[in-house]
Amino acid sequence: MPQNAIGNSINDLETPALLLDLDASDRNISRMASFFADRPASLRPHFKNHKCTKIAQRQMAAGSVVGMTCANITEAESLERAGVKNILIANQVVGPGKIDRLILLAKCCTVAVAVDALPQAQAISDAAKNSNVSVDLLIEVDIGMGRCGVAHGEPALNLAKQIVDLPGTTFRGLQAYEGHCVYIDDSKTRTQMATQSMLLGTNTREIFENSGIKVGVVSGCSSSTYKITGCMDGVDEVQAGTYATMDWRYHELVPEFEIALSLLTTVISCRPDQAVLDAGAKMIGAEFGLPKVKGEPEVEIPLFGAEEHLVIRKVPAWQVGDKVEVLASHACTTCNLHPQLFVHQAGQVVDVWPIDGRAN
């Protein structure tokens, strides 16, 4: 690990190098924690955004947090090794190997997992019973994402009746994620659609409880809906993730959070009105829009897709060797492409943090 970078200017780094503005990230973390300090719902930040246990520890320490969310078993293992003892895998864990790893986790911490079918829950139950541990189960309810999940209402209730008494498990509640709403630009429309979607989850909760099945938690929400669904009656946990790092796309939706993540690059080629940077699709996530050059709104990126190159048009007076910071449209996949974050304050590297949850 390049610890010798500590104390030097970020402009001395070899590129491409993924940067985290520590002060901006800490302000983001504090802002979100403060928002939920006096509200009924608690934070369960989503680790998949940064996959960095150093950031997760700062999120936990900021308060208003009941535990961490993650997307897969490897992320959960990284969190447990870093001292996080309450973990939700907001995804289905399927297959003997992964279930064995889940059981090992359950011996060390409180772990919950999303399920949407009886065979998934039964396999976890059998393994947990044989190992004398308990795994918490959340039924995932599809509230519009069209991905995993059982249909809301009676179909979800029917599944609950089948799994509520499975040995080796504890039924905890519902996973309900309004992911199809989080990138809606118009705030009024986003509010309306996210609310309507989450109502499918909270109404399902009422159906469960009217049938005598206790729902301990409804968990969902995002960084762009935290003020919307995160404040609804019946929602207990907010799985916001991107707020800790922020990309330019999410920043458009929730500008109160600062863009703390950037990719440092080097100009490797110049011609009139054009420059090429040494970072392409292997280094920066662009699922939600082309990268942007920090502080240079007038430049143009004509296309994106080259593995190692980023072509910039209408450039200022750049020269070969100049360092340029680039902003991603998707922080989550960008972090997953790098082994470490170069953490800086006022342009000086103060630490190097491994992105230790990135393995699959």
CATH number at residue 324: 2.40.37.20
Same domain, 270 and 151: no
CB 195 within 8 A of CB 228: yes
Tokens coding 29 = 């973390």
Assess if residue 178 is contained within a domain. Answer: yes
- pLDDT bin (cut points 50, 70, 90) of residue 1 is very low
Answer whether 171's CB lies under 8 Å from 127's CB: no
- For the segment 254-258, the average pLDDT, to the nearest whole number, is 98
Token pair 């998707």 in the structure block, residue: 330
DSSP state of 227: T
What type of residue sits at position 203? N
Q: Is residue 34 part of a domain?
A: yes
Q: Do 230 and 327 share a domain, yes or no?
A: no
Both 109 and 214 in a single domain?
Answer: yes
Of the residues 245, 278, 310, which one is the last residue of a structural domain? Answer: 245
Give the pLDDT confidence of 6-48 residue by residue, as tens digits: 999 999 999 999 999 999 999 999 999 999 999 999 999 999 9
Q: Are residues 324 and 343 located together in one domain of the fold?
A: yes
Backbone angles phi, psi at 200, to 5 degrees: -65, -35
Q: Please choose, from the candidates 116, 223, 107, the residue with its C-alpha nearest in 3D space to the C-alpha of residue 162.
A: 116
| Shared-domain flag, residues 170 and 213 | yes
Where a domain ends, among 194, 221, 245? 245
- Whether residue 33 lies inside any domain: the answer is yes
Q: Residue 75: pLDDT above 60?
A: yes
Residue 137 has pLDDT above 50, yes or no: yes
pLDDT digits (tens, 9 = 90+) for 212-241: 999 999 999 999 999 999 999 999 999 999
Does the pLDDT of residue 2 top 80, yes or no? no
Closest of 147, 115, 149, 141 to residue 235, by C-alpha? 141
Please report the sign of the dihedral spanned by the C-alpha atoms of residue 145, residue 149, residue 150, residue 152: negative
Residue 54: give the domain boundaries.
22-245
What pLDDT, on a 0 to 100 scale, did the predictor assign at position 304? 87
- pLDDT value for 14: 97
Q: Are residues 57 and 144 in the same domain?
A: yes
| Residue 251, in any domain of the structure | no
Establish whether the linkage from the previous residue to 16 is cis, with ω within 30° of 0.
Answer: yes
Q: Which residues contact 95 (CB under 8 A, 6 or more apart)?
A: none
**Model confidence at 257: pLDDT above 50:** yes
Entry pTM? 0.97
pLDDT confidence tier of residue 3, bands split at 50, 70 and 90: low
The CATH number of the domain holding residue 105 is 3.20.20.10
Please write the tens of the pLDDT for every residue from 139-168. Answer: 999 999 999 999 999 999 999 999 999 999
Q: Are residues 176 and 265 in the same domain?
A: no
For 88-111, how does the pLDDT look when each residue is reduced to its tens digit (9 = 90+)? 999 999 999 999 999 999 999 999
Q: Is residue 173 domain-resident?
A: yes
CA atoms within 13 A on the CB side of 304: 19
Residues 200 and 292 in one domain: no
Q: How many domains does the chain have?
A: 2
Q: How many residues does the chain have?
A: 360
310, β-bridge pairs: 277
In terms of domains, do 31 and 177 share one? yes
Q: Examine residue 359 and state whether it is found in any structural domain, yes or no.
A: no
Q: What is the pLDDT of residue 360?
A: 56
pLDDT surpasses 50 at 314: yes
Which residues fall within 8 angstroms of residue 220, CB to CB, at 6 or more apart?
143, 175, 176, 177, 178, 198, 201, 229, 235, 237, 238, 239
What backbone phi and psi angles, to 5 degrees, belong to 61? -70, -20
Please return the burial class of 282, using the count of CB atoms within 10 Å of its CB with bins 0-12, 13-18 and 19+.
exposed
Could you tell me if residue 250 is inside a domain?
no
- Residue 360 located in a structural domain: no
* 27 and 9 in a common domain: no
Asked which of 205, 221, 245 is the last residue of a domain, the reply is 245
Question: Among 285, 280, 261, 286, which Cα is nearest to 341's?
Answer: 261
Say yes or no to pLDDT of 114 above 60: yes
Please tell me whether residues 167 and 276 are part of one structural domain: no
92, 226: one domain = yes
